[in-house]
Amino acid sequence: MTQPSSITILEKTVGISFRKKDLLIQALVHRSSVKERAAYGNNERLEFLGDAVLELATTDHLFRLSEKSEGELTNWRSALVQGEHLAEIAREIKLGEYLHMSRGEEASDGRNKASTLANALEALIGAIYMDQGFERAREFCERFILRHLGELLAKGKHRDEKSLFQEKSQERIGVTPHYNVVTEEGPDHDKIFTCAVFIGEEKVAEGNGNSKQRAEQAAAKAGLKVKGWM
């Protein structure tokens, strides 16, 4: 169980004092943690909620920020909410140190796993929303996540890997790549997909994710590296 002192440190880091401490604790419970899951439930429901809150906060922020087209703003939003970026924010606030997880998960470097950290950050946003409403959740998103837009644009993160891989493939080879699901593993509520990207008959690379879309993005990212198109 999370110690009160640990909660206090995290609350100071994010600048929010929770009225219902149980919400914060639940946001920190990985699905592998049996003991805390029994007492509080794991953070997957809060992650589901936080994902939606983050998307709305990001969309609202970008709509007010720029007169760019819908397509351009969509790309900007994707850069801000992508798992890799969320994981970096989670590392900044040392969120992994507070997570409850099984010994096996921890032994496999679970506290630093990008997907685990990104999910935990979304769960934290969901907990803030439930405890203090949308405005405080929006303020958190702006303070820790949305302020990085300029950096992400400078690095080209607003160009998602699938779009970039397709662009490069058409430009250099004249072929549009396609994707196939190679495997699906795990229960329905926690599936891991493996997708492969092909150029014609050539299987270029594979990628994993907890949705087909994320697995395809991972495959495209790997394909860019294989082809030297980064």
Catalytic residue among 36, 44, 51, 160: 51
Whether the per-residue pLDDT at 1 is higher than 50: the answer is no
Whether the per-residue pLDDT at 161 is higher than 90: the answer is no
Catalytic annotation present for 51: yes
Residue 97, CB-side half-sphere exposure with 13 Å CA sphere:
10
Whether the per-residue pLDDT at 11 is higher than 90: the answer is yes
Whether the per-residue pLDDT at 163 is higher than 50: the answer is yes
pLDDT (tens digit per residue) in 79-136 = 899 888 999 999 999 999 999 999 988 888 889 999 999 999 999 999 999 999 999 9
Percent of residues, the chain, with pLDDT higher than 90: 67
Confidence at residue 69, expressed as pLDDT on a 0 to 100 scale? 85
Q: Which fold has domain 4-154?
A: Ribonuclease iii, N-terminal Endonuclease Domain; Chain A (1.10.1520)
Confidence at residue 71, expressed as pLDDT on a 0 to 100 scale? 75
Average pLDDT, the chain: 90
The more confident residue out of 84 and 60 is 60
Q: What are phi and psi of 229, to 5 degrees?
A: -105, 15
Those residues with Cβ within 8 angstroms of residue 103's Cβ, 6 or more apart along the chain or in another chain: none
Q: How confident is the model at residue 19 (pLDDT cuts 50, 70, 90)?
A: very high
Please spell the DSSP secondary structure of 143-212, one letter per residue. Answer: HHTGGGHHHHHHTTTTS-HHHHHHHHHHHHTS---EEEEEEEES-GGG-EEEEEEEETTEEEEEEEESSH
Percent of residues, the chain, with pLDDT higher than 70: 94
Catalytic annotation present for 72: no
How many other C-beta atoms are found inside a 10 Å radius of the C-beta of residue 6?
A: 14
Residue 16, CB-side half-sphere exposure with 13 Å CA sphere:
26
pLDDT (tens digit per residue) in 188-197 = 777 899 999 9
Chosen CATH of 161-227 out of 3.40.47.40, 3.40.140.10, 1.25.40.10, 3.30.160.20: 3.30.160.20
What residues does CATH 3.30.160.20 cover in the chain? 161-227
What residues does CATH 1.10.1520.10 cover in the chain? 4-154
Specify the pTM.
Answer: 0.73
Segment 15-21 mean pLDDT: 96
Q: How confident is the model at residue 230 (pLDDT cuts 50, 70, 90)?
A: confident
pLDDT (tens digit per residue) in 25-46 = 999 999 898 776 667 789 999 9
Catalytic residue among 122, 131, 160, 216: 122
Segment 52-63 mean pLDDT: 97
Q: How confident is the model at residue 5 (pLDDT cuts 50, 70, 90)?
A: low
